[in-house]
Amino acid sequence: MLTIFLLILISGVFTYSSAEQGFCSAPSSLNTVSESKPLYSKVYDSIQSPLDLQNLPGFTRSVYKRDHALISPESHVYGPLPDWINTLGAYVISPEIGSHFVMYLAKLKENSRSGLPLRDVERFIFVLHGAVAVTGAHGVSHVLKVDSYAYFPPNFEHSIESDAPAIIVVFERRYAQLPNHIPEPLVNSTDKQPLLETPGEVFELRKLLPSSLAYDFNIHIMDFQPGEFLNVKEVHYNQHGLLLLEGEGIYRLGDSWYPVQAGDVIWMAPFVPQWYAALGKTPTRYLLYKDVNRSPL
């Protein structure tokens, strides 16, 4: 398993350098519309309203209900993360809310380093700002920039380090084993993932993890042009943790309709009716945790 990870890391060095060129010379539609700010910077620099509502005393768009929550940036509370060095984290979703996973934002400072997840816990990271060096058990390291991600299977020794400020979003879950299916560590980037079929829907879908049975969750990247919306009014057993990376729109959760914008986090419990419409002048992109491949029983 480690050997495979090393091969992935080594091959990644080459694919990454070519991807960087592609990134500059052929920007996606997402980039052409937005201003000159760095990709996803609204997640951590998200005060856009002319009235600056977020700064009104006592005002928050955050909501916490039985089957969903909206946690907007002015409500994120950062503190030390267990075993991490020079890093502050904000847990935005945790089992206290009813989830079987945690989702947190981690702000790495100079000379920062991650701690390991708990025993039997898998970890997924996605870079929002800056760059981090990911090192596997044998010391081979790989630099992940904005829009890149890594997956670490349970009990896989690794570190995430940075010598300059960086921000990542992290998902962790106690791995649900299936006999004869072993998840592999991986590193990759969103722009390398193919667009997938979405029958009956107009949004664009990419999946960041393989769909094979070894993986008990996936991370979807979903893109909407302004005015596009979900066709299916979904109600399902899966749970979701969502980070709005770009754009703004209306999220319906149960009987409530929420104006949302980049930087917002949403918790969706199993069976909460859910629906999204992208509005505003710029495309929406969001990142979505979804548990898959396991029987609910």
Ligand X SMILES: *[C@@H]1O[C@H](CO)[C@@H](O)[C@H](O)[C@H]1NC(C)=O
Write the DSSP assignment of 89-139 as a string of letters.
EEEEE-GGGT-SEEEEEEEEEEEEEPPPPPTTEEEEEEEEESEEEEE-TTS
Least distance from ligand X to the Cβ atom of residue 14, Å: 9
> What is the spatial distance between Cα 123 and Cα 84, in angstroms, rounded to a whole number?
14
Instruction: Mark 188-207 with x for binding to ligand X (rule: CB under 6 A) and - for no binding.
Output: x---xx--------------
Is 8 among the residues that bind ligand X (CB under 6 A)? yes
Torsion angle of the four alpha carbons 27, 29, 33, 34, in this order, in degrees rounded to the nearest 10: -60
In the complex with ligand X, the residue whose CB is nearer, 81 or 146, is 146
| Given 186, 219, 230, 279, the residue binding ligand X (CB under 6 A) | 186
Is 238 among the residues that bind ligand X (CB under 6 A)? no
- Type of residue numbered 262: A
> What is the spatial distance between Cα 117 and Cα 151, in angstroms, rounded to a whole number?
12
Name the one range near ligand X by CB under 6 A: 88-96, 187-195, 234-242, 285-293: 187-195
Least distance from ligand X to the Cβ atom of residue 171, Å: 19
Name the one range near ligand X by CB under 6 A: 6-14, 21-29, 114-122, 282-290: 6-14
Least distance from ligand X to the Cβ atom of residue 281, Å: 31
End-to-end CA distance of the chain: 29
Q: Are strands 284-291 and 256-261 parallel, antiparallel or unpaired?
A: unpaired
Is 15 among the residues that bind ligand X (CB under 6 A)? yes
Nearest to residue 107, comparing CAs of 92, 126, 88?
A: 88
Nearest to residue 264, comparing CAs of 67, 87, 40, 50?
A: 40
Least distance from ligand X to the Cβ atom of residue 208, Å: 9
Which positions from 70 through 99 interact with ligand X, judged by CB under 6 A? none
Q: At which residue do the structure tokens 């992109």 appear?
A: 285
Name the one range near ligand X by CB under 6 A: 7-15, 126-134, 254-262, 276-284: 7-15
Name the one range near ligand X by CB under 6 A: 40-48, 101-109, 186-194, 252-260: 186-194
* Number of shown-chain residues binding ligand X (CB under 6 A): 8
Q: Which residues bind ligand X (CB under 6 A)?
A: 8, 11-12, 15, 186, 188, 192-193
